Amino acid sequence: MSTMKNAVMATWPDEVMEKRGEFTNCPLTDFSQEENRQAMMAALAKVKGEFGRTYPLVLGGKEVMTEAKLESYDPSRPSDLIGTFAKAGEDEARIAIAAAVETFESWKWTSAQERADYIWRACDLMIERKLELAAWMVYEEGKSWVEADADVAEAIDFLEFYGREAIRYAAPQPLTPIPGEENELRYIPLGPALVVPPWNFPLAILVGMTSAAWVAGNTVVLKPSSDAPAIGYQFFKILQDIGLPEGVVNFMPGAGASAGDYLVRHPQTRLIAFTGSMEVGLHINAAAAQTAEGQIWIKRTILEMGGKDFIVVDSDTDLDEAVAGCVASSFGYQGQKCSAASRLIVVEDIYDEFLEKMIPLVEQIRVGHPEDPEVYNGAVINEGAMNDHLRYIEIGRQEGRILTGGARDTGAGDGWFIQPTVIADVDSKARVAQEEIFGPVTTVIKARDFDHALEIANDTIFGLTGSFYTRDPEKIEKGKNVFHAGNLYVNRKCTGALVGGHPFGGFNMSGTDSKAGGGDYLFLFTQPKLISEKV
């Protein structure tokens, strides 16, 4: 468990430290302990007992049912219906934004301390329900026990961290003294926010974006992913249970092309926080830039998009450690992370040895239903994603050499399972080396030397995460300066960012580099107001 001790923490007021203590990242559950294994099994049984329920929209505190419905299924066992959800269209989106606008007029005047108290109550309740929340993601998103537990831990970290940040932003800000004046800088909220989280971190990212918005004084229309409405509802239930005022967060599953697009273009939507694909992010950016009739502001967009992330392996390194990092980064949660390593760039001196060490590790990955604690990879999120990944595998078969995997894993069950796949001897310009696949498929590219590897790594439209392994101090310093990624790691895997320690966000087509979980993030949900009084 890491502890954040940096300049951001040093600026938190004393009363925060007295109330909450020193910030530390939420510890992961040790499932090797029998007590924890039994507790997780009980959580899975409890969640499974809740399958098949019907859930409403909740807009301005009122439950709303619709004729259109959204159904969520277990991707590892598609015959299991997780739940049925009311599905918003434009009419419901109109009600949602009206509720957010109305509630903002009172919520914006709440003190930072009051908002922080709400977020910390949510944090404490989430800690109590940690395994139950993880169990929902085992079923709805195909996450292994470890991946689901880590997702909840990150959500807890966001709540704890952003509560402190709200207090820090509300504290007196340093300004140059001017004789005869009293000057102050206040960070005030923006207004109603549309929050559109992804399905792959359906609790952590949803909680991070939503809580940052409302703890900064904004109101929220929350449109969870259509592949993850159940876990989104569980977080909304926590907000209800802590007594967050009605209308501060409005729960609105719906289609992006109708309800989502309507709100992006609505003149009273003040900001949009989105995490997802590059294509959708660019569409939101373009639509939000169009000024609607009656709109009196430039909409703020906070966009986290895709990646084609790299790991460079130099000849002067601990090869076993590098291989382990590459496998974990490529295949953790079926490669369905925006930070997943999908380009392994290996210098030619050790290329063959690297593959000899890597392939046996990949072939040891157990694929199946993740309710089994020994399973490392569950199914990919849905049938469409599976077919898309298989299409890329066929492209890779033409562009490189498949060393392991390369097919649907029918032996794992009836779900959307794919064999972990390694495609070697890939040209750096190949489609599978340039386009985001977002599944359990990684490519291996041969480089002449470290400098050539660096060129290959930067040759992409993306710039989210990257990692490189080398012992050479000069190469380490050069890599730090030249590799172009928002989150760059040295001699470690390229996944697993921790709130507070690894502010997360990327360059280029990977988004607006929002640095979630860092000291700059809440700034994006506020606007600074300077007040100067003559004395």
State the sign of the Cα–Cα–Cα–Cα dihedral 82, 239, 204, 121: negative
Catalytically annotated residue among 132, 141, 165, 304 = 304
Q: In Å, what is the CA distance from 75 to each residue of 13, 315, 375, 408, 441?
A: 46, 40, 15, 14, 18
- Alpha helix ranges (H) inside 332-382: 351-363
> What is the C-alpha separation between 328 and 509, in angstroms, rounded?
24
- The amino acid sitting at 165 is E
- 24: Cα within 13 Å, side-chain hemisphere: 8
Residue 22 CB burial class (10 angstroms; 0-12, 13-18, ≥19): exposed
> What is the C-alpha separation between 412 and 368, in angstroms, rounded?
5
| Residue 304 annotated as catalytic | yes
Catalytically annotated residue among 160, 338, 371, 399 = 338
> What is the C-alpha separation between 429 and 313, in angstroms, rounded?
19
What token pair was written down for 35?
């007590």
Whether residue 199 contacts residue 42, with contact meaning beta carbons closer than 8 Å, is answered with no
Residue 271 CB burial class (10 angstroms; 0-12, 13-18, ≥19): buried
**The tokens 């101090």 sit on which residue?**
473
- 182: Cα within 13 Å, side-chain hemisphere: 3
- 485's CB contacts (< 8 A; 6+ apart) are 309, 310, 463, 464, 465, 466, 506, 507
Instruction: Indicate the SS3 state at residue 513.
Output: coil
Give the length of the chain: 535
In three-state form (DSSP H/G/I as H, E/B as E, the rest C), the secondary structure along 74-90 is: ECCEEEEEEEEEECECH
Cα–Cα nearest to 136, from 123, 124, 145, 127: 145
In three-state form (DSSP H/G/I as H, E/B as E, the rest C), the secondary structure along 20-61 is: HCCCECCCCCCCCCHHHHHHHHHHHHHHHCCCCEEECEEECC
Instruction: List active site positions.
Output: 304, 338
